[in-house]
Amino acid sequence: MKAVNILRVDEEKSVNFADFINSNQMIEQILTKHALDAVSRLFNTQVEPSLLAVQRTIPAFRNQGDFSLVVFPLLKISRKSPEETAAVLGQAIMESMEEAESFGVVKGYLNIRIKSLYWNHFLASQVRNGKFGLKHEKEGRPVVVEYSSPNTNKPLHLGHVRNNLLGYSVSQLLNASGRNVIKVNLVNDRGIHICKSMLAWKLFGQGETPESSGKKGDKLVGDYYVLFDRKFKEELAGLMARGLSEEQATAESVMMKQAREMLLKWEARDEETLELWNKMNAWVYKGFDTTYKRLGVDFDRIYYESQTYLLGKKIVEEGLQKGILFRKDDGSVWIDLTENGLDEKLLLRSDGTSVYMTQDLGTAQLRADDFNPGQLIYVVGNEQNYHFDVLKLVLQKLGRPWADSIYHLSYGMVELPEGKMKSREGTVVDADDLMDEMIATARAMTEELGKIEDFNSTEAEALYSMVGLGALKYFILKVDPKKNMTFNPRESIDFNGNTGPFIQYTHARIRSILRKAGEEIQFTGPVSLHPKEADLLIMLYQFPLVVGQAAGDLSPSVVANYLFEVAREYNQFYHELTILKEEDLNTRTLRLALSQLSATVIRNGMSLLGIDVPEKM
């Protein structure tokens, strides 16, 4: 099939518009500049650009213009009514702004119509740009984004899914907005929780392996973490039946004592303990890799707490020598943050073993040394807000100049309709099981809707996976990261409404139209835009702005919900106007070009969410 996306306009009539488009200035920026200049000329006053925020005209006013400015902030300097202020400002803008065609006033809103020729030229310049909306050039110091951060005592679960999808998508957004991004993972591979799994396997495992059990290694180790908790509770119940309080019973617990002893042996580099630790961690890493691949996330560098906690201990010792930290009578090391509105924070236990904060200090130092980053972003749930407040404060007090670059991307918890999940009780939703369920649901719904009639079995299975995982990713990423959310698998995979499958289906529909168009068609002159064409084209035009906003806010939900609006707008355009049966050759090509750019925006936007889109469906 030959391309059907060539659009040409009369160069003599549109050369100025081409210059503006090639300068990478968005029309909103151009309009703001002319509005500021007009205010200066009319009222002999300089105002802040934020006072003249340009926005897309609301649908009710679109017969007046494409973009609006609210003039109420100018009334004190204009000394005129809102309508009079908007009118004189509109006239002044028309005199200087070549792209402006007309203006209208509705109360305090100045609405500016942009010439169709400008939009024609924009479409001509971008329709063959497969990377539209994505910056190629990178600038500034690197941005290090940490996400995933699993523990090696359990498999990845639904909470990890949100973390990984959010971290990966934020990295994609920053990269697309021109930042040099380094994706990192910190594996929590040491500590008392790891020793609990190891001890349970040692006591009850009877040599079980992933191969002998037929389980993924991370799931096998996770089972022993749950087993430890069950055996520990049984022991506590027995001790408390003898009259001990829960606190006393915990202190007397043989299993807990053995787990603590195992941690001390590990830090003392006991050979037998290290051998068991290496063996069980290797099982887990193999399982993690399988899950990451299915999720479609990756990392540029992986750090391990077992390799950073010693550096953290050195930093703690440095803090003691400088008098920033203090040691209590039991030998534990603390920092007093009461003057900062916090409390005292433990940095080293009395037995000399490290805590999470210890290794986080070491890991932060390593990343600063490795990358000299402009920003260190930690994608971690909001239950750790206090932890990262402390981490940043400690590093600031230790005189680390890069401490100010630390940013905690705090996100809300994800739950199921039936409530919260608990790893130690084995009530979590395993990430692999969730993906299997999503793909199975996609298979059932796709077959029910008859969307695979001309697919072979291999193509059908690939589509089920694409739709199922797309539904999962989109449902999670469309929610503002700061908000808690409830994940409902069935709702996420609906082919109607604000879902991933709806957007994927729209892309497949567009690709089908372009395939049917067949031969190459030349467009030789400007075309006046139908309102539905203009609405869609202006929405597509704003894609680079949306990417920039989402990157600035560290919020993939901005892109996700924009893509839903694009898909909805395209479907309205498709239903209201003819495309392939359009008799006017120029109009037909314009609409095919609009279709092509819509497909590009959907594909590029979904890729920023880590979602693939099908060519047919």
Confidence (pLDDT) at 487: 85
**Of residues 277 and 267, more confidently modeled:** 277
pLDDT of amino acid 67: 96
Confidence (pTM): 0.90
Checking if the pLDDT of 527 tops 50, the result is yes
CA pair distance 67, 19, nearest whole angstrom = 21
CA dist 25 and 257 (Å) reads: 66
Please say if the pLDDT value at position 420 is more than 60: no
The string of pLDDT tens digits covering residues 573-614 is 999 999 999 999 889 999 999 999 999 999 999 999 999 999
| Mean pLDDT, residues 362-385 taken together | 96
Please determine, for residue 40, whether its predicted confidence score (pLDDT) is greater than 70: yes
Which pLDDT score is estimated for 286?
97
Quick one: tokens of 602? 């959907």
**Size of the chain in residues:** 617
**pLDDT at res. 560:** 98
Give the model's confidence band at 548: pLDDT under 50 very low, under 70 low, under 90 confident, else very high: very high
Question: What percent of the chain is modeled with pLDDT above 70?
Answer: 93
Q: Give the distance between the most distant pair of CA atoms in the chain.
A: 95
More confident residue, 523 or 488: 488
Is a pLDDT exceeding 90 seen at residue 533? yes
**24 pLDDT tier (thresholds 50, 70, 90):** low
Residue 529 phi, psi dihedral angles, 5° rounding = -95, 130
Higher pLDDT, 196 or 22: 196
Name 145's bridge partners: 183, 377
pLDDT tens digits, 219-249: 999 999 999 999 999 999 999 999 999 999 9
- 256/577 Cα distance (integer angstroms): 71
Tens digits of per-residue pLDDT, 185-230?
Answer: 999 999 899 999 999 999 999 999 999 999 999 999 999 999 999 9
Q: What is the pLDDT of residue 169?
A: 98
* Cα distance between residue 431 and residue 197, in whole Å: 20
- In this structure, are residues 477 and 405 in contact, taking their beta carbons and an 8 Å threshold? no
427 confidence band (pLDDT: 50, 70, 90): low
The pLDDT of residue 522 is 59
In terms of Cα–Cα distance, which of 299, 256, 264 is closest to 150?
299
Q: Once rounded to an integer, what is the mean pLDDT over residues 263-278?
A: 95
**Around Cβ 396, how many Cβ atoms within 10 Å?**
15
- Left, alpha or beta for 381 (phi > 0: left; psi -120 to 50: alpha)? beta
**Residue 71 contacts residue 84 (beta carbons within 8 Å):** no
Tokens representing 190 are: 């040491």
CA distance 133 to 597: 11
3-class SS of residue 293? helix
Amino acid at 331: G
Binned at pLDDT 50, 70 and 90, residue 167 comes out as: very high
Distance of CA 131 to the CA centre of its chain: 19
Tens of pLDDT, residue by residue over 441-483, are 999 888 887 777 788 889 999 999 999 999 999 999 999 999 9
Check residue 105 and give its pLDDT. 96
3-state DSSP: the chain helix, strand, coil percent, rounded to 5? 60, 10, 30
Q: State the pLDDT at residue 261.
A: 96
pLDDT for 211 equals: 97
pLDDT at 327: 96
- Taking only the tens place, the pLDDT of each residue in 131-151 is 999 998 898 999 999 999 999
Per-residue pLDDT for 425 more than 90? no
Q: Residue 317: how many CB atoms within 10 A of its CB?
A: 13
Name the pLDDT band for 494 (thresholds 50, 70, 90): confident
pLDDT at 18 over 50: no
Query: Average pLDDT of 388-403?
Result: 96
Residue 21 pLDDT = 43
- pLDDT tens profile 50-72: 888 899 999 999 999 999 999 99
Q: Is the confidence at residue 8, as pLDDT, over 60?
A: no
- Helix, strand or coil for residue 256? helix
DSSP sequence for 343-405:
-EEEEE-TTS-B-HHHHHHHHHHHHHHHH--SEEEEEEEGGGHHHHHHHHHHHHHTT-GGGGG
Q: Is the pLDDT of residue 27 over 70?
A: yes
